[in-house]
Structure 1
Amino acid sequence: MQFRDQGPQNAQPSREERFVAGILKLCTENKGAAARLRRADNPTTEYQSWEVLAGYGIDLEKEYERLPYACVAAAIAKSKAERNGSLKLGQAIGACYENGNASDQAKARLRRLLACDDVAELCRILRPLFSLIDSRVSQGLDYVRLLKQLRQFGFNAQQIKAQWAQEFYGRSEPGEEGQP
């Protein structure tokens, strides 16, 4: 009988980790692909990203599966990020404003995000929010965490919304920084 070591050194990267790493690499190496991915969050031009998305095994016919990947791919391509960041979405919204999470504008942005009912609406609301974050916050977003949240949104929206609110309002406990 063989025993397999289940330690972290043998852990395979998740689908989301492979996707984000692949998109980051593609955007730095292929400017044409990066340009097509920048249009992935626009319903009119989203089809230009389908070749890349299909290459990752994403079912293009299922909107709830396709939109999270297209949204994150567009955000990565537009940000010109070179690696995955560590900033959570709720923290990033607060970081856009001088008063942080005490800002009425930041609270309004969060409330609008929390009012979303489905993945399609959520991805539409995130589009301008990513532009705001990219223009005002120097720290990179944790795209892997965000993609996982977007993929789960259709199945567990309340939990994902609670995570974003906690990230926005909450204070991290010591040693909690790296946890999803």
Structure 2
Amino acid sequence: MKPTQSQEQTPDKTQPGREERFVSGVIQQCQQDKGLAARLRRADNPATEYQSWELLAAYGIDLEYEQQRLPFVTVAAVIGKTKPERNGALRLGQALATCYEDGHESSLAKTRLRRLLACHDLPELCRILRPLFSLIDSKVSRPLDYTRLLKQLRRFPFNAQQIKAQWAQEFYGQPLSVDAEERFE
């Protein structure tokens, strides 16, 4: 039976997005293949990023374009390092505040947030995120929401101010408005 025109135009809401498929696939593959997890950990360095390219190419990511490649490399590397069992629910701003006893009142946490918010482009952002991920992994027991993070990193070149505002709101514990949350998705 051929779908009607309205059925063809209405996307199936149950289909996971590209980011969700990537994150769940990488988590699953890292659990099954320790060699892949080790290569992804090494891909955290720009000089050895090529270690992740086989995986990225398998997901259809254009390796020639840094703007497309960097978000996926960054998230794959952190998954390889942290070895989560599943995608988490912890947002980046929340995780950063959770790293410190005083939470968002900590001057060191605020300094790290300000440095994150001062990033001007995607390569700088990914470079600044690497040590933050190590800090978060050492201090926080809950996994990050890697799918949301990947979406934010992919949108950063086009909507940097909005993404930075989301991280600040998460850090300071201010919930996003329903409108802002809908715009993000």
By the TM > 0.5 criterion, same fold? yes
1:53 to 40, 56, 67: 56
Contact preservation (8 Å) 1:41, 1:123: no
- Cα displacement (A) at 1:7: 8.9
1:12 to 7, 15, 22: 15
Root-mean-square deviation (CA), in Å? 2.2
In 1, Cα distance between equivalents of 2:25 and 2:130? 21
* Structure-2-length-normalised TM-score: 0.89
Give secondary structure in 2 for the equivalent of 1:150: helix
Q: 5 Å matches for 1:35-50?
A: 35-50=38-53
* 1:131 corresponds to: 134
In 2, Cα distance between equivalents of 1:168 and 1:137? 14
* 1:85 corresponds to: 88
Contact preservation (8 Å) 2:169, 2:175: no
**Higher percent of residues as helix:** 2
In 1, Cα distance between equivalents of 2:116 and 2:55? 27
Unaligned runs of 5+ in 1: none
Q: AA paired with 1:114?
A: L
In 1, Cα distance between equivalents of 2:142 and 2:107? 22
Give secondary structure in 1 for the equivalent of 2:47: coil
Q: AA paired with 1:56?
A: Y
Equivalent residues, number: 178
In 1, Cα distance between equivalents of 2:42 and 2:11? 39
Q: Which runs of 4+ in 1 moved over 2 A?
A: 1-8, 170-173
Deviations 1:125-155 (A, max 9, x none): 0000000000000111000000000000011
2:108 to 105, 109, 134: 105
* 2:67 corresponds to: 64
Contact preservation (8 Å) 1:40, 1:70: yes
* 1:121 corresponds to: 124
* 1:75 corresponds to: 78
- Cα displacement (A) at 1:39: 1.5
